[in-house]
Amino acid sequence: MALWQYTFRVIPSIDSLALDAVIHNTEGNKINTDDELWDAKKVALSELAGLEKILPLGKSWNTDLMVYGELEKNCIEIYLNGDNVSSMSFRIDFRSEYENILSKLIDLLKEMSLTALSENLTVVPLTFEAMQETIESSPQVSTWRKLSGDKRL
């Protein structure tokens, strides 16, 4: 991930109690896996065919990883277990004009009954305003502003 990107994790939608159990382990620490949720839902990559309408299929270094877009720009990453999704995330390059891509991603997430998590593993409402606010209030944007002198972000 580059400094100029914000990453959202994507998981199948589940109730808030189950989500809290997945995000936190028995000691209350945040965990770093979402493959159990995806494995339980059995979402085939073919069900996400609309991704190529948002970003073109890109290059990957791993046969189990599908990349749409470019890794250093706006991109969607999907890890596979066979033909099924085992993890999904997307990165927004906040230096770019990302509004159209983000809007299309939100529509796809709603259509597929998926949930977006912030980098802090909190649920982000599937609205453009909520996601944009999450991006703009991130440490990455703050650091980018300081380093680049870019005041428009």
pLDDT digits (tens, 9 = 90+) for 130-150: 999 999 899 888 887 888 776
Specify whether the CB–CB gap between 66 and 52 falls below 8 A.
Answer: no
Handedness of CA 14, 126, 120, 63 (dihedral sign): positive
Task: Name the percent of the chain lying above pLDDT 90.
Answer: 44
Tens digit of pLDDT for each residue in 54-108? 999 998 888 899 999 988 899 999 999 999 999 999 999 988 899 999 999 999 9
Pick the CATH number of 5-148 from 3.30.2010, 3.40.30, 3.30.1400, 3.40.1130: 3.30.1400
Specify whether the CB–CB gap between 78 and 34 falls below 8 A.
Answer: no
Q: Where are the alpha helices (DSSP H) in 1-153?
A: 16-23, 35-41, 51-54, 99-111, 128-136, 139-148
| Residue keyed to tokens 């494995």 | 39
Q: Distance between CA 132 and CA 99 in Å, rounded?
A: 9
Q: Distance between CA 98 and CA 151 in Å, rounded?
A: 17
**Domain ranges for the chain:** 5-148
Q: Is residue 120 predicted with pLDDT exceeding 70? A: yes
Beta bridge partners of 12: 114
Specify whether the CB–CB gap between 138 and 119 falls below 8 A.
Answer: yes
> Quick one: pLDDT at residue 20?
61
* Mean predicted lDDT score pLDDT of the chain: 84
